Amino acid sequence: MTIAQEKQPIIIPENVIIPGSDLYSDEPPLESKLHLLQIIILMQCLEWLWQDRDDFFAAGNLTIYYSPNQKKSEAFRRPDFFVVIGTHRYPPRKSWVVWQEAEKYPNIIVEILSDSTANTDRDLKKQLYQDTFQTPDYFWFDPNSLEFAGFRLVGDKYQPIEPNESGYLWSEQLKLYLGVYEGKLRYFTADGSLVPTPEEAALWEKQQKELAQQEKLRAEQEKLRTEEKNAKLAAKLRELNIDPDSL
């Protein structure tokens, strides 16, 4: 995303929910516009790519309640971005309450690092997501330093995900790569293609239509030139008393 694009009005997707004051959370607010933009990009791109699917729930900045005693005051966390697979996309939730969601925890979590949360994200949360959530894929990304790391649950322990030749990390849960592109954490398909934002997809579609129209115009112009050449040739042949249709 370019600087010019960053200055465009922000449209927050439905599932990027900032919990109201009636919901408990011990997480600090989003530190900067960079953090908000990053969450929106992760949300929008996955929603666009999986627009025909209804077997997942993705959310940004949404509290997860997971108390074994089913008390919202006891155990909760608010990941910056998470995806639960094998559930229902709708209706939108004000929070993710594990005991009301068939005991499902996130399949993938992404934390956006900041000066005030980096140590917690690297240590306390990593331990929680490994031991309690048992979330298969865990990533963190710093939008300022561009630090990026990913871990996959192997047995009961997180192991670092090895990058491919482009530096992207594979999410087995999403069947997508995650990698840094133009200063943002983005998704890439298995063949390395960038998953676009809805705006990028619309622009690409517009460009493809324009290219198709230009190609059609070139073909029509070439056809007219060929017809004009043939007409001139036929006229010249007739001047020589040669019937062009007999050739």
User: For 44-97, what is each residue's pLDDT tens digit?
Assistant: 999 999 999 999 999 999 999 999 999 988 899 999 999 999 999 988 899 999
Identity of the amino acid at 153:
L
The amino acid at 200:
E
Residue 2 in 3-state DSSP? coil
User: What is the share, in percent, of the chain residues with pLDDT greater than 70?
Assistant: 81
- How high is the mean pLDDT of the chain? 85
* Every domain range in the chain assigned CATH 3.90.1570.20: 3-195
Q: Are strands 96-97 and 64-65 parallel, antiparallel or unpaired?
A: parallel
Cα 152–chain centre separation:
19
Residues sharing a CB contact under 8 Å with residue 164, sequence separation 6 or more, in sequence order: 170, 177
Tokens of 162: 């090895």
The torsion angles phi and psi of 179, rounded to 5 degrees, stand at: -160, 165
* Tokens (6 digits) for 180: 């840094």
Residue 3 pLDDT level (bands cut at 50, 70, 90): very low
How far is 93 from 107, CA to CA, in rounded Å?
Answer: 17
pLDDT above 90 coverage of the chain, percent: 63
Higher per-residue confidence, 205 vs 115 = 115
232-237 average pLDDT score: 76
- 142-197 pLDDT tens trace: 999 999 999 999 999 999 999 999 999 999 999 999 999 999 999 999 999 999 99
Rounded CA-CA distance 99/35 in Å is 29
pLDDT at 128 over 90: yes
Q: Which two tokens stand for residue 78?
A: 């608010």
Q: Name the token pair of 39.
A: 């969450």
Q: What is the pTM of this model?
A: 0.74
Hey, which CATH number is domain 3-195, 3.50.50.60, 3.90.1570.20, 1.10.3720.10, 2.30.30.830?
3.90.1570.20
